[in-house]
Amino acid sequence: MKPVSDGGVVKYVWAVASHQGRIRTNNQDTPFPASSGAADGVEVIVAVADGMGGAAGGEVASATAMATVVATDGTPTTRINAANRAVFAESRERPELLGMGTTMTVGLLGPDGSATFGHVGDSRAYLLRGHTADQLTDDHTIVAEWVAIGAITAEDAKTHPRRGMLTRSVGVAPEVAVDEFDVSLQPGDRLIVCSDGLSGMISDRDILEVGRVGSVEAAAWALVEAANQAGGYDNITVVVVDVET
């Protein structure tokens, strides 16, 4: 498939699946869009926030962050910085929520196939192209840092007891560093944006094998089911997006 480089317009078709998993009693993830759909000729926002903070804190953090991202104009970094301020302010106004925060992975998909992502935490974005799946985002975790410096192996990181310990999150401090990067999408590409309830339960290879099959709706729910079958220890949220002509 050739990239859109002549001023043409692509169509985005997406599906959203979210489940509390098999262990948790509530769902602290917030996706956007909230439901499946399609659009062409306009910018599309796709995002996942995975909240943390005990009791209702995680739900409040992810919902507040997502509402702010959607209501704010500008780049993903601008939007996530606004979300960070909103969550931090909310926690200061409500002492019972002090320390709450959320991951944030946001993609702004342009009508010409250009895309810009902003990212904080360990939710992920994958690009499925052909028979490959590339993880577009870097995990902001202590274990990922250890892998980067060679202290532990990537294989060890998958089962390390501190693998969920974040080094960056939205809303726990007045400011946060945001990773921002551009991606050139092609017709035939499939994007997967997910919480670590998916990526922490099944391998990248399984995400590719399960996530590339069928419609976006079928793929999204098949991924959730795969994570639940693997244990479902966390909330699972998946947004699957196809790029079409």
pLDDT digits (tens, 9 = 90+) for 63-72: 999 999 999 9
The band of 156, judged by pLDDT with boundaries at 50, 70 and 90, is: low
Q: What mean pLDDT do residues 134-155 have?
A: 83
- Residue 124, pLDDT score: 98
- Residue 6, pLDDT score: 57
Q: What mean pLDDT do residues 220-238 have?
A: 97
- Where b means 16+ CB within 10 Å and e means fewer, 20-44 reads bbeebeebbbbbbbeebeeeeeeeb
Q: Is pLDDT of 92 > 70?
A: yes
Give the separation between CA 100 and CA 63, rounded to whole angstroms: 12
Of 65, 79, 76, the C-alpha closest to 116 is 76
- pTM for this entry: 0.93
Give the separation between CA 29 and CA 18, rounded to whole angstroms: 8
pLDDT digits (tens, 9 = 90+) for 191-206: 999 999 999 999 999 9
Instruction: Give the residue, 148 or 59, on which the prediction is more confident.
Output: 59
Of 241, 244, 234, the C-alpha closest to 18 is 234
Q: What is the largest CA-CA distance in the chain?
A: 53
CA angle 225, 195, 14 (to 5 degrees): 70
Q: Is pLDDT of 235 > 90?
A: yes
pLDDT digits (tens, 9 = 90+) for 8-59: 899 999 999 999 999 999 999 999 999 999 999 999 999 999 999 866 799 9
What tokens appear for 107 in the block?
Answer: 């993609």
